[in-house]
Amino acid sequence: MRYELYYWPTIQGRGEFVRLALEDAGADYIDVGNASDAGITEISEFLDGESTLYPPFAPPFLRAGEILVSHVANILQFLGPRLGLVPEGEAVRLWAHGLQLTVTDFVAEIHDVHHPISSDDYYEAQRDTAQARAEAFLESRLPRFLGYFEQVIAQNPDSDDCLVEGGHSYVDLSLFQTVSGLRYAFPRAMEAEMPSHPGIAALVSRVARRERIAAYLGSERRLPFSEQGIFRHYAELDSPPPT
């Protein structure tokens, strides 16, 4: 089956979490937003068209034949069994989905550092509030989320560098993307934080070495991080340099 991924062109955004799963599995898919100049039009037809039975609120969404699935965690829960990216068993699949929802919460907080008031306004219009939000995030929320995922890895009975028992899963790919984005957005803070999280560091390194992921990361299909995406680097929001 050929999957159709719908997400805004030219940026990684939340669509990247789905792309990584599709790339890792070697799935047949088309990245609709980046496939042609008509990408935005095709996305808008789903969002605005009255003919869509179950219209999504916003990208990303995925079409698989007659099935249309929206929201990253929902898409990955759908794709996981089909792509071999989640173990068998209802309990462990629900556990994986719960971890993915925690990643979703984490990503939302990361985004809200640089847009703490409104996503509709430019960063420059909320810079002062963003500075206060960044300080609180780096002091409290960043270590709390990373500490949680480190604990999950440490308690995994099957592996010391995977989140879900049974081995590699789509949640590993999502944590890889999140940590990669954090390293782009907050390089100084992450340099100071990561030595406390060797399990996460091992997971990220392992994912980057996977054959299809390594090929994808080195290809033109891997869009760069930028100040138009979720993970944005503003030097003034990062930890101050050591004195």
- Percentage of the chain surpassing pLDDT 70? 97
User: What is the distance between the alpha carbons of residues 168 and 203, in angstroms, rounded to a whole number?
Assistant: 9
Tokens of 208: 């980057």
pLDDT value for 42: 80
Q: Which residue has the tokens 């509709």?
A: 120
Q: Report, as ranges of residue numbers, the positions in the chain whose pLDDT lies below 50.
A: none
**DSSP code at position 124:** G
Q: Which helix (H) or strand (E) holds 84?
A: none
Report whether 234 contacts 129 (CB < 8 A). Answer: no
- Residue 176: the pLDDT is 98
Q: Which residues of the chain form beta strands (DSSP E)?
A: 3-6, 29-31, 61-64, 67-70
Q: What is the pLDDT of residue 40?
A: 79
CATH of domain 90-237: 1.20.1050.10
The predicted pLDDT at position 235 comes to: 96
CA distance 164 to 172: 8
95-116 residue pLDDT tens: 999 999 999 999 999 999 999 9
What gap in Å lies between CA 102 and CA 128, rounded to an integer?
28
pLDDT of residue 162: 97
Residue 47: what pLDDT?
A: 80
**How confident is the model at residue 232, as a pLDDT?**
97
Number of residues written out for the chain:
243
Query: What is the reported pLDDT for 38?
Result: 65
**Rounded CA separation 7/23 (Å):** 15
Q: Which of 94, 47, 45, 39 shows the shortest CA–CA distance to 70?
A: 47
CATH assignment of 3-83?
Answer: 3.40.30.10
The residues spanned by each domain of the chain are 3-83, 90-237
